């Protein structure tokens, strides 16, 4: 059995919640190897990322955590 066949077999045994994380990892690896032309392509390859970014854009600043709580040294 080749490595590719082994990985495919193992992935088929995993629950969907784990598959999503594997997809994110594969997208990151492809990005690191320069397969994506730009950051937008990379971010769009991650499940639910575009929706998450749009949700963040629509969130009023008053509902956000202050920067000092995220990065206390800033």
pLDDT confidence of residue 60: 94
pLDDT confidence of residue 44: 86
What DSSP string runs through 3-56?
HHHHHHHHHHTS-HHHHHHHHHHHHHHHHHTT-SSSHHHHHHTSTTHHHHHHHH
Count of structural domains, the chain: 1
User: What is the enclosing helix (H) or strand (E) of 74?
Assistant: none
Name the residue range of residue 19's domain. Answer: 3-70
pLDDT tens by residue, 8-50 = 999 999 998 899 889 888 888 887 887 777 888 888 888 899 9
pLDDT confidence of residue 13: 93
């Amino acid at each position: 059995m080749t490595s590719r066949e082994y990985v495919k077999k193992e992935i088929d045994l995993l629950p969907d919640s784990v598959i999503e994380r594997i997809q994110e990892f594969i997208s990151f690896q492809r990005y690191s190897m320069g397969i994506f032309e730009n950051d937008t392509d990379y971010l769009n390859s991650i499940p639910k990322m575009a929706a998450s970014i749009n949700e963040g854009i629509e969130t009023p600043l008053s509902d956000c955590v202050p920067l000092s709580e995220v990065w206390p040294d800033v």
